[in-house]
Amino acid sequence: MPKISPDQLDARRREILDAARVCFARHGYEGATVRRLEGETGLSRGAIFHHFRDKESLFLAVAEDDAAEMAVTVARNGLVQVMRDLLARAADPAAPDTAGWLGTQLEVSRRLRTDPDFAAAWAQRAEAVGTATRERLSRQRDAAVLREDVPLGVLAQFLELAYDGLVLHLAMGRPADALDEVLDLVEEAVRRPAG
């Protein structure tokens, strides 16, 4: 029998993560039973938990995966662009798994509130996005794009507040139509005034 290569293992792990994300988002953490995870991934529990110790680890891996991807995008394009992308995907019914991704974010927020162990495990991972946001703002300030009368940390928190608001708004299925202009306002609020 041929050995499974690291690449194949990686691909399998990714398949499980993507299916699990959908399942957690649709049913919540408690509602995402092992049976449902089997159904969504098309794999047996044995196969799933060969890759992840337990449901808790699987959920944390999904959430970490999302946070890591977001930190990369923030570092490259900034948090406002992340929000614009999110909005574009939410408005596009053909876009994959936006609802799943949003659902995971809300499920993380719920578990942070109700589960102190999860909150402790999460705290250090979540820091990556905050760091990426501040570093990018710092480069923008150097490029004289940013307003200078407000501390950088306050601007970063303002953007994060808008981001959290967008997540909650979209995850509740509220209409996204006027939000492009709202994001223009958000962007303008952190920029150096024109002229």
Q: Which stretch binds its own copies (CB under 8 A): 25-33, 40-48, 56-64, 131-139?
A: 25-33
* Terminal Cα-to-Cα distance of the chain (whole angstroms): 70
Does 163 participate in binding its own copies (rule CB under 8 A)?
yes
Q: Which residue's CB is nearer to its own copies, number 41 or number 103? A: 103
Query: Is residue 143 at the binding interface for its own copies, with CB under 8 A as the rule?
Result: no
Burial 52-87 (b: 16+ CB within 10 A, else e): beebeebbbbbbbbbbeebbebbbeebbbebbbebb
Q: Count residues binding its own copies (CB under 8 A).
A: 42
Closest CA to 110 of 18, 19, 182, 32: 32
Q: Smaller CB distance to its own copies: residue 43 or 159? A: 159
Contact 107, 25 (CB under 8 A): yes
Let me know: does 171 contact 103? Beta carbons within 8 Å. Answer: yes
The reply on whether position 103 binds its own copies by CB under 8 A is yes
Binding span for its own copies by CB under 8 A among 8-16, 60-68, 70-78, 160-168: 160-168
The contact set with its own copies (CB under 8 A) reads 26-28, 30-31, 103, 106, 109-110, 112-114, 119, 150-151, 153-155, 157-158, 160-169, 171-173, 178-179, 181-182, 185-186, 188-190
